[in-house]
Structure 1
Amino acid sequence: MSKANAFPDLMRAFFYEWLVEQRNASIHTVRSYRDTWRLFLRFAAQRAEKKVAVITLADLTADGVAAFLGHAEHDRGGTIGTRNCRLAAIRSFFNFVATKDPASIAQCVEILHIPVKRAPVSEPCYLDPAEVAAILAQPNRSTLEGMRDHALLSFLYNSGARIQEALDLCPRAVRFDSPSCVRLTGKGRKERICPLWPETVLLLKKLLERQPRALDQRLFVNRYGKPLSASGVRFKACGLCEGGGRNHANVAD
């Protein structure tokens, strides 16, 4: 490995050999790390007055990482949680570098010693049954989109699943026979079984009757048959919460 090409080679090895092949990281982790490094390299290049393509490992100092984290939190308006996720992605790379390039261990250690930032813990908020019923009443269930929205909202309420867990749901993960349940795959590929109410099972069955899906296909899709995105669902769900009488609103188009 030549000195001039050390950083590009290390970055490629980190993503393709270590993160994907050795760690078998989920696609969501890979995308999160990719986005962090895209932002960090742009920031480092601007700070060093260089182009991203000529950035070297020596340009990525502990001071630079700390400055980037401050930029991500304050200038970009990110949360403390997002700031800590960015730090985790950077730390992971420098942990890898320490095993591949002993000459850079001192630099790696400085970066690895950057602490995570503690965030205040707020009390959890929740909806009372009347508020949930009002939200579930918003989709127009005479349309396919409204039927999908109602089923998705009901499934989230029943299971307590994260939005991405619900959007990744395939029919084969649902046990429709009694006792009905669903197998959810969460962060770190951890699986858990959640019981389903008869009402929720009926809604999922009706949705599959109107819009059949193979056992390994996503259950909740848009009008073009493509998987829904979490950002689209959140945007439309906010509209439902604020929409009051807009009973024709859809969670995601």
Structure 2
Amino acid sequence: MEVERGNSTRTRNVRLTAIRSLFSYAALQHPEHALLIQRVLDIPPKRFDKRTVTFLTAGEVDALPAAPDPNRWEGRRDKVMLALAVQTGLRVSELTSLNCDDITLGDGATVRCEGKGRKQRTVPLDRPVQKLLGSWLNERAGHRCDPLFCTRAGRRLSRDAVAQRLSVHAQAAARACDGAL
């Protein structure tokens, strides 16, 4: 599978898990085939190297939100979204689920979100991100329950859309950081 189809080791192991589940069930239903079933269940998962998670340097953190084009509506949206993500550490699902009323500006500025396990989380905002969010909320001119980061049609951004935008801006930021990103 890995050579002919180009599957990764993780894909192979996931499929092996599914096959094992089927054969575990078959062992109960057809004990007469126990020897063959046991041979299949004895196939070990393949080991693989896990990728090391790295962190952005200060220069890369500055370059990423600076990468979107501020002359375009999408660029301004993406700049705010990336700056908010970098400063707060919100997950993509938390970013895409934010509504306009989840942002509190002024003294004690915060962003309120619902995280994993439906846990409510409130994260403080620093002045530069407050300023970006304030101008974005004015430009966005959305109602309280409207998504904070949306498409031109007003629909909530999907995870895939955020991943695509991040990929585009990471490439631009990498060029600005001499390929470091």
TM > 0.5 between the two?
yes
Higher relative contact order (CA closer than 8 Å, sequence separation 6+)? 2
Describe the SS at the equivalent of 2:160: helix
Residue identity matched to 1:141: P
Question: C-alpha displacement at 1:231, in angstroms?
Answer: 0.9
Residue identity matched to 1:166: L
CA gap 1:186/1:245 in 2 versus in 1, 3 angstroms? closer
Determine if the alignment matches structure 1 residue 238 to structure 2 residue 178: no
Residues 73-84 of structure 1 aligned to structure 2 (within 5 Å): 77=8, 79=10, 83=14
1:104-129 per-position Cα deviation (integer Å, ceiling 9, x unaligned):
xx89xxxxxxxxx9987654311111
Residues 52-63 of structure 1 aligned to structure 2 (within 5 Å): none
Aligned to 1:221: 150
Aligned to 1:195: 124
Instruction: Provide the C-alpha distance between the structure 2 equivalents of 1:76 and 1:212, rounded to a whole number of angstroms.
Output: 46
Residues 14-53 of structure 1 aligned to structure 2 (within 5 Å): none
CA gap 1:120/1:175 in 2 versus in 1, 3 angstroms? farther
CA RMSD of aligned residues (A): 3.4
Residue identity matched to 1:230: R
Aligned to 2:36: none
Question: C-alpha displacement at 1:156, in angstroms?
Answer: 0.2
Instruction: Provide the C-alpha distance between the structure 2 equivalents of 1:144 and 1:150, rounded to a whole number of angstroms.
Output: 10
Residue identity matched to 1:191: Q
Describe the SS at the equivalent of 1:231: helix
Unpaired segments of 5 or more residues in structure 2? 22-27, 30-44, 177-181
Aligned to 2:71: 142
CA gap 1:192/1:143 in 2 versus in 1, 3 angstroms? same
Describe the SS at the equivalent of 2:130: helix
Whether the 8 Å CA contact 1:144–1:210 is kept in 2: the answer is no
CA gap 1:164/1:78 in 2 versus in 1, 3 angstroms? farther
- How many residue pairs are counted as aligned between the two chains? 149
Aligned to 2:35: none
Aligned to 1:124: 53
Q: Which has the higher helix share?
A: 1
With the length of structure 2 as denominator, give the TM-score of the two structures: 0.68
Instruction: Provide the C-alpha distance between the structure 2 equivalents of 1:78 and 1:142, rounded to a whole number of angstroms.
Output: 43
Aligned to 1:211: 140
Aligned to 2:97: 168
With the length of structure 1 as denominator, give the TM-score of the two structures: 0.50
CA gap 1:78/1:219 in 2 versus in 1, 3 angstroms? farther
1:116-161 per-position Cα deviation (integer Å, ceiling 9, x unaligned):
x998765431111101212222111122211101000000001100
CA gap 1:78/1:210 in 2 versus in 1, 3 angstroms? farther
Instruction: Provide the C-alpha distance between the structure 2 equivalents of 1:198 and 1:132, rounded to a whole number of angstroms.
Output: 16
Whether the 8 Å CA contact 1:240–1:246 is kept in 2: the answer is no
1:76-97 per-position Cα deviation (integer Å, ceiling 9, x unaligned):
65847x95xx98xxx9xxxxxx
Describe the SS at the equivalent of 1:141: coil
